[in-house]
Structure 1
Amino acid sequence: MAEADGVRWDGKYSGRTAGPPCLPEVFVPYSDEFPIAGHAVELACGFGQASVWLAERGLTVEGVDVSAVAIEQAQGLAARHGVSNRCAFSVTDLDDGLPPGPPAAVILCHRFRDPTLYPAIGDRLAAGGLLAISVLSEVGAERGPFRARRGELRDAFAGLRSLAAGEGDGQAWLLARRPRS
């Protein structure tokens, strides 16, 4: 993203504070699918609520966001919940691609969409790794440049084993696992 995007997102996050650690609502019914150990990556982590939830569960978490304001809040949330030692947050421009790192047991991406990153996301998952992704969708909403077309997530991650998925009311989401072999 251009520097202007970081400034714009900083403005959206300024004056707000992080809520309690939690998964995005769409994934709450599937919380038992999330592992209790391993490395996790949260893309566009915002205030880090899901990252801290994953760390409390036992994972080591790398949370990235374009907003320095959001990252500062995420670091504070991790500290307040005693999981700073399992969370690393950084200001990252995902237009430059995924940050380097080890294969991930979990990749979580909520309300961030960049189809050019889909192959790298799938490749970054460890064998047996879990992908939890939700994006704005054209299904049940107006079309727009930031909205996924019908079937976009299913098609992009066809090589993964789908555990649950949905499209409607302007949202598309997928919970899927990379095969072990």
Structure 2
Amino acid sequence: MFPTTGHALELACGAGAASVWLARRGMTVHGVDISGVAVDQARDLAARTGVGDNCRFDVVDLDDGLPAGPPADVILCNRFRDPRLDRAILDRLAPGGLFAITALSEVGAAPGRFRAEPGELTAAFAPLKVIAAGEGDGEAWLLARS
């Protein structure tokens, strides 16, 4: 499902494993995270695996919104959810682009501030064509295309 060319944006990229995976497939990747330590680790991982030229990592506070950039062929959010970014994610996704998100969920777990409510991901990203989605054991996921 994931393309081998184009531009990817990873939100809350952490130490960069998924960004590097996308870059090794041939994509140009912009990873952002609030943690300077994580961004340094991501830059190091990209350099060590030979994809440093295909990756850019920046410290970004997503409370301020998505960073400026071109339309993304892939947007990836792993274990990160901020409903305030939903519209910006939909607007940034290129036509035919792929969106993948995993988040903590209330389904199979206790409610909490950072947990998605039942059905939240599919409702929030209803304009997209769902490829796969699910909830359970405290996690929710969605893979969809614009």
Shared fold per TM-score greater than 0.5: yes
User: Equivalences for 1:50-61 in 2 at 5 Å?
Assistant: 50-61=18-29
Tell me, in whole angstroms, the C-alpha distance in 2 between the residues paired with 1:170 and 1:115.
Answer: 18
Q: Does 1:139 align with 2:94?
A: no
Tell me, in whole angstroms, the C-alpha distance in 2 between the residues paired with 1:113 and 1:174.
Answer: 12
Q: Does 1:39 align with 2:28?
A: no
Tell me, in whole angstroms, the C-alpha distance in 2 between the residues paired with 1:62 and 1:72.
Answer: 14
TM-score between the two structures when normalised by the length of structure 2: 0.99
Unaligned 5+ residue runs, structure 2?
Answer: none
Q: Report the alpha carbon displacement of residue 113 of structure 1 after superposing the two structures with TM.
A: 1.0
SS of the equivalent of 1:144 reads: coil
Look up the match of 1:86.
Answer: 54
Matched residue type, 1:83 = V
RMSD in angstroms over aligned alpha carbons?
A: 0.4
Q: Comparing both structures, which one devotes a greater share of its residues to helix?
A: 1
Look up the match of 1:115.
Answer: 83
Unaligned 5+ residue runs, structure 1?
Answer: 1-32
Q: Report the alpha carbon displacement of residue 166 of structure 1 after superposing the two structures with TM.
A: 0.6
Equivalent residue pairs, number: 146
Give structure 1 regions of 4+ aligned residues with deviation exceeding 3 angstroms: none
User: Equivalences for 1:146-157 in 2 at 5 Å?
Assistant: 146-157=114-125
Q: Comparing both structures, which one devotes a greater share of its residues to strand?
A: 2
Indicate the percent of aligned positions where both proteins have the same amino acid.
68
